[in-house]
Chain A
Amino acid sequence: MNIIVCLKQVPDTEAQIKIAGDAKSIVTDDIKWVMNPYDEFGVEEALKTKEKFGGEVTVIGLGPKRVTETIRTALAMGADKGILICDDAADGSDSIAVAKALAAAIKGMEYDLIFTGQRGVDDDLGVVGASVAEFLDIPQLSLIEDVEFAEDGKSVKVKRPVEGEVLTIESSLPVLITTQKGLNEPRYASLPGIMKAKKKPLDQKTLSDLGLDASDFGEGARKLKIVELLSPPARSAGKIIEGESPQEKAAELARLLHEEAKLL
């Protein structure tokens, strides 16, 4: 089974995010960049599937040169080859444009399955996976916590939790699956894995290599424009409940929730 995993590089979730001087972007100076946590589940699931059915795992990312590190991480986990779409003209593209580029890179390849994270933990849009599926004209299964292939490897059954229900959905292949926590425990790259990754193929492509028109990309082509970034509404520390004992504090808290906050 040939599997593609789309990767995004994002700021570490422990990072403080600060607004830059242009009020439209973030300060990137001290940011530690990591693989989008949801994409790690995609890499792991791809590797597990390959271990069972054979085939090849290709990881593909878009962004500046530093994204190479994220692709190398996936190669060190065990993916076979990587593609980086790296083009200054793509800087500042919105999700739909990113998906067009990813789909263009995937189009010429042979694949049965594509994994993407359910969303990037930076923009929190959750649009790229669905859009890649749309541009490739294949079905999507989003927010999946369990994947099971038919014995012949021709169809797939997945579990998708929605509010208060878990749906089991069946689909033919090829299909795009967006991953979430609970799907698996991503492996760490081993030392031999890291050594091997250095020799694995990693192709770099520009938009024109993919037959794309640079004017459809970048800040100027955005359909969703950022007007400005804002700090979240300030929350300041409130009352510390006084009391001689935990029981007294509990009683006072109960009173405040009832009489002051009027929530109970």
Chain B
Amino acid sequence: MAQGVWTIAEQRNGEFRKITYEMISEGKRLADALGQELTVLLLGSNIKDKAADLGQYGADKVLVADDARLEPYTTDAYVSVIAELTKANEPAILLIGGSVQGKDLAGRLAARLDVGMAQDCTELLIEGGNLVAIRPIYAGKLYAKVTYENSFPQMATARPNVMAMNEPDSSKSAEVADASFTLDDGMLKTKVVNVDKDTSGKVDLTEADKIVSGGRGMKGADEFKILEDLADVIGASVGASRSAVDAGWREHTDQVGQTGKVVSPSLYIACGISGAIQHLAGMSTSKVIVAINKDEDAPIFQKADYGVVADLFDVVPALTEELKKIV
């Protein structure tokens, strides 16, 4: 019988990403609700010395798959190893962080294991010994409560920035074991040949704690400078609405909304964004929303915790100056 909760650690060049701690924290809550153990799978190259510390966030066991071909991440290699370990150990629940990498992995792994998979969940519960997941659909216009039928492990990814992270307890350490697996070179059909790092120092929108976003009201690409200035002062990333991206003022990777990124920051400041439904869908899980717009009838004000009805070109620079005094 399937037993235990598993989660996958996400690391780059030996550094754990924040989502790893979020998933261990959430995985531990699920494991406790079942009265079972949380096992973390750690894949990478020369990575074993990092494993025991994952106990600080709640891992009971860490199973390490160490192989040069597991660094950097490729779908082929990860899916092959994790599918083999999952079949051999039969965990009840497999939880993966809903990062770009995690979603790629989860989609293919679900097909390999032929199980149901709930992507990008915002809430996970145990009911009657089974996983129940709540996930936004239509980019958050609705939520679906889902469960599993004849499908083990019960698989889910969780949206970054949503699951509460445990305070690390430095007195705790996880039991570490080597995973036994085979990796056949014939299965590895893709290869990462270059990694281009973003040197701007900005956090990706999907992981950002604060976002300053601009829409049609920005009037042009150069005008985003005032949002960049505000963002620099408060340590935010800069986003954009679809109209700003379609106008060519910002890169497509900056787009927030149903056909762009879905974000969950603690603070979202919308400047000159009217609040089209497809935009609102992409940012409605933000904890605090601020809207700055000169049109008092703009729909964004219906969703905003704080609204400022005024010309953003007056308000934003003034806000930047005020916040310099505070932060």
Chain A interface size band reads 35 or more
- Cα A98 to Cα B108 in complex, Å, equals 14
| Distance between A155 CB and nearest chain B CB, rounded to angstroms | 10
Q: In chain B, what residue has the closest Cβ to A168?
A: B194
Write out the residue numbers on chain A whose beta carbons fall within 8 Å of the beta carbon of B72.
167
Contact A126 B119 (CB under 8 A): yes
Write out the residue numbers on chain A whose beta carbons fall within 8 Å of the beta carbon of B221.
none
Query: Taking the complex as formed, is A249 at the interface, i.e. its CB lies under 8 A from any CB of chain B?
Result: yes
| Distance between A179 CB and nearest chain B CB, rounded to angstroms | 12
Contact A239 B305 (CB under 8 A): yes
Which of the segments A67-75, A80-88, A203-211, A222-230 contacts the partner chain? A222-230
Contact A239 B75 (CB under 8 A): no
Query: Taking the complex as formed, is B68 at the interface, i.e. its CB lies under 8 A from any CB of chain A?
Result: no
Which of B107, B198, B210, B316 is within 8 Å of A126, CB to CB?
A: B107
Write out the residue numbers on chain B whose beta carbons fall within 8 Å of the beta carbon of A264.
234, 267, 323, 326-327
Write out the residue numbers on chain B whose beta carbons fall within 8 Å of the beta carbon of A14.
276-278
- Cα A112 to Cα B191 in complex, Å, equals 18
Q: Which of A121-139 contact B (CB under 8 A)?
A: 121-127, 129-131, 133-135, 138-139
Contact A134 B112 (CB under 8 A): yes
**Dominant secondary structure at the B interface:** mixed
With A224-B148, A226-B146 known as contacts, the answer to whether A121 contacts B258 (CB < 8 A) is: yes
Write out the residue numbers on chain B whose beta carbons fall within 8 Å of the beta carbon of A172.
189
- Cα A133 to Cα B107 in complex, Å, equals 10
Interface digits, B286-310 against A, CB 8 Å rule (1 contact, 0 not)? 0011100000100001111111111
| Distance between B312 CB and nearest chain A CB, rounded to angstroms | 9
| Distance between A128 CB and nearest chain B CB, rounded to angstroms | 8
Q: Which of B230-254 contact A (CB under 8 A)?
A: 234, 245, 251-253
Which of the segments B38-46, B49-57, B130-138, B171-179 contacts the partner chain? B130-138
**Dominant secondary structure at the A interface:** mixed
Which of the segments B20-28, B59-67, B86-94, B200-208 contacts the partner chain? B200-208
- Cα A138 to Cα B120 in complex, Å, equals 25
- Cα A99 to Cα B141 in complex, Å, equals 25
Which of B100, B111, B120, B288 is within 8 Å of A96, CB to CB?
A: B111
Query: Taking the complex as formed, is A263 at the interface, i.e. its CB lies under 8 A from any CB of chain B?
Result: yes
Interface digits, B116-140 against A, CB 8 Å rule (1 contact, 0 not)? 1111100000000000101111111
A-B residue pairs, 10 tightest by C-beta: A224-B116, A130-B107, A223-B116, A246-B314, A250-B318, A254-B322, A182-B252, A134-B111, A131-B111, A163-B204
Listed in ascending order, the chain B residues whose CB lies under 8 Å from chain A are: 12, 17, 72, 74-76, 99-101, 103-104, 107-108, 110-112, 114-120, 132, 134-151, 189-198, 203-204, 206-207, 210, 234, 245, 251-253, 255, 257-260, 262, 266-267, 276-278, 284, 288-290, 296, 301-311, 314-316, 318-319, 321-323, 325-327
Listed in ascending order, the chain A residues whose CB lies under 8 Å from chain B are: 11, 13-17, 19, 26, 37-38, 94, 96, 99, 121-127, 129-131, 133-135, 138-143, 145, 157, 160-172, 175, 180-182, 222-232, 235-241, 246-247, 249-251, 253-258, 261, 263-264
17 contacts between A and B (CB under 8 A): A11-B138, A125-B107, A127-B111, A140-B108, A145-B253, A169-B193, A170-B190, A181-B245, A232-B136, A232-B141, A237-B303, A238-B307, A239-B307, A246-B318, A250-B321, A257-B267, A263-B266
Known pairs A38-B259, A222-B116. 16 more at Cβ < 8 A? Answer: A11-B138, A121-B258, A123-B137, A131-B107, A133-B108, A139-B76, A143-B100, A164-B197, A168-B196, A181-B255, A229-B143, A237-B304, A240-B301, A246-B318, A263-B288, A264-B323
